[in-house]
Amino acid sequence: MGARIKELPARLPKNFNKPDEPWYHYLTIDLIWKVLGYTLFHPWVAWILVLCLRAQYTPYENLEMRIAMAWAFLMTIIGIFGIISDRIAYGSPRDVDLSEEVIIITGGVEGLGGLIAEVYGMRNANVCVLDTKKVDDDEAEEKGILYYECDVGDAQQVEKVAAEIVEDLGTPTVLINNAGIVHTKSIINSTAEEVEQTFRTNTLSHFNTLRTFLPYMLNEGRGTIVTVSSVLGHLGAANLSSYAASKAALLALHASLKAEVAQHPNGAEVKTILVTPGQMSTTMFAGVKTPSNFLGPVIAPVDVAKEIIKTIEKGESADIAVPLYSRYIGILGVLPVGVQSLIRRWSGVDRAIERAGLLQKKHISPKN
């Protein structure tokens, strides 16, 4: 008999009992942009329109033919420019074979990291998770994932676990720095311990894992590092000061990492991916509503995970920003300050935590 097929238990989504949303709830600017990208803004489709006009014996000097050809040339030039720009910025992709990769995910028991880990586990990849949460052996075996109980904010624990991973699976080649926590408090109500914990988990953990695992990748001459930041790293927000600041630090860290890897003799095949998602439908920000589902939709973790996995397996470096507004959020900083203030008021970003009932209040008396 052949090899036994691996049985996977069926799991209903957690929101299966929620009422269906009206059809227009799913109509977002992201969906429209994606459809246009595969149709009107796609060079191949643009040239098909030209061919259709020629099939009707439309003369080249006709206005509609000239418009169609001009549009096709424009889309082709933009497409070629994008390819050249990406090649200059990120270099050539590396070859990725999952059977030869060892994937490490921090904070991979739940949320986005847990989703990515389970996908790779189902595909029989060599994947391990570093997290403070415990997972029993039966569940780990069922998912095909190795779990290591580790506080990634502690450099010694990371170094100890790294030695175990090398012994158990081999040389680490993919690092997904995903661990993160949030304290929804104002600056004056935050304790020193909470701020330190946030930065240890969200920021210092990246330094610990990079110092530990990057040398393996450079010695191997290949690897991929994923830095999961947040759109709040660009914006900041009231009652999310420590979280936003810790995520903003990752933007600078990623830029420095990218530059240092590019200068290393063995860094050509070490790829770097920056992820700056908008609000995701995870438990971390449950109940927080965006001002406009059309312009700023809440995205599902699976959509972000899909982009990360696709980019890793294509062997490319990239900047992943979803939904659409997070890709262009940097434009906000060059607008007049009055316009910036009006946009922040309209978006409700500084009132979102309080309106969602997530604000943790703790009165701190001033010290004399």
Measure the CA angle with vertex 274, ends 294 and 168; round to 5°.
125
Give me the catalytic one of 147, 148, 243, 325.
Answer: 243
Give me the catalytic one of 143, 247, 258, 271.
Answer: 247
CA distances from 37 to 40, 42, 167, 299 (A): 7, 6, 46, 19
Pick the closest to residue 326 from 345, 349, 309, 310 (CA basis).
349
Render the burial of 75-103: b for 16+ CB within 10 Å, e for the rest. beeeeeeeeeeeeeebbebbebeeeebbb
3-state helix, strand, coil in the chain (%, to 5): 50, 10, 40
* Rounded Cα gap, residues 302 and 169, in angstroms: 26
* Rounded Cα gap, residues 28 and 31, in angstroms: 5
Catalytic status, residue 247: yes
Alpha carbon dihedral 85, 90, 95, 97, in 10-degree steps, equals: -120
Termini Cα distance of the chain: 80
Q: Catalytic residue numbers?
A: 243, 247
